[in-house]
Amino acid sequence: VSAGGQPAYIAYVSPAQINALAPNVTPGNVPVTVTNSNGTSAPVMVVAQIAQPAFFHWGSYAVATRTDYSLAVRNGTFPGSTTAAAKPGETIVLWGTGFGPTSPAAPSGVVVPFGITYYTANAVTVTVGGVPATAYGAALTPGEAGLYQLAFQIPTTLADGDYPVVATVAGVHSPASTLITVQK
């Protein structure tokens, strides 16, 4: 995979899907091509941005854990697994991609090394159900490629229910269709 004439980091390939991390390209319209034993595809134009945050999902719900990595989802979501919804006041970690550049700058084209924390260069804010949440920061996950962790506190004022969780970085919002379950 090439984006803007530069090689992209390939994270996964199957007959129907390629997961690739874009190289450091200038924001704007960028041609993307795929090369295999049959040749190179025609370029497809995509819009590159500094950030385009999004959370990974279990259905409509954000992939959410506690700081001990236990699952923070509605009880019964995964038959045979112990799960419990996030509680008001609890610190939760959401897992996502597209949170933009880091400080220090993470190396390109390799998994994130251990030993250094690569926090987002731009501040990240979070709302749950439109209520501002205390964000403790977002950083790349060591041993992975392009996987961000975002730790934040569930607002204490929320009643039981499913709420949209939205992160904002560099003025760009994650999709408001991502939900998290809160239960006292």
Q: Which residue's structure tokens are 């390209």?
A: 25
CA dihedral 44→50→55→56, nearest 10 degrees, is: 40
Kindly state the tokens that stand for 61.
Answer: 């719900």
Contacts with 114 (C-beta within 8 Å, 6 or more apart), sequence order: 142, 143
Q: What pLDDT score does 11 carry? A: 83
pLDDT tens column, 138-153: 999 999 989 999 999 9
Give the residue from 151, 141, 149 showing the smallest Cα distance to 112: 141
Contacts with 112 (C-beta within 8 Å, 6 or more apart), sequence order: 106, 118, 140, 141, 142, 143, 144, 145, 147
Q: What pLDDT score does 104 carry? A: 96
pLDDT tens column, 150-174: 999 999 999 999 999 999 999 999 9
Q: What pLDDT score does 121 carry? A: 96
